[in-house]
Amino acid sequence: MSTADGRSLAAMLDLLVYENVLVAWRVRSGVYEIVLHDGEEIAMSRDQAAMWSLGAFEVFLAFVDQGRIIPRMP
C-alpha cells in the first residue's frame, strides 16, 4: 500500500471516529487496532483494516442515503 493509500485509510478511519461509528483506532508496529463501542479491539494488518473500513464506510453511507442517520459532517 502506498503512502497516499495509507493517508486515505487514516482519513477514512478518522471520519468513522468523527461520525461515531468507531470509538478509536491506532497503529502499533504496523498493526491497526480498531476499538468498537462495545469495547472490543480488533487487530488487523493494513490491508485487512483497509477492507474493513471500506465496508464500514459503505454501510455508513448507505444509512445516510436511506435517511436512517444524519451525518455530523455537513
Rounded to an integer, the average pLDDT of 45-54 is 93
CA distance 45 to 60: 22
pLDDT digits (tens, 9 = 90+) for 6-49: 788 999 999 999 999 999 999 999 999 999 999 999 999 999 99
- 68 within a domain of the structure (yes/no): no
Instruction: Please give the model's pTM, rounded to 2 decimal places.
Output: 0.81
- 70 within a domain of the structure (yes/no): no
- 33 within a domain of the structure (yes/no): yes
| pLDDT given for residue 14 in this prediction | 94
Q: Which CATH number is 16's domain given?
A: 3.30.250
C-alpha cell at 17: 471516529
CA distance 46 to 38: 22
CA distance 12 to 21: 11
C-alpha cell at 60: 455508513
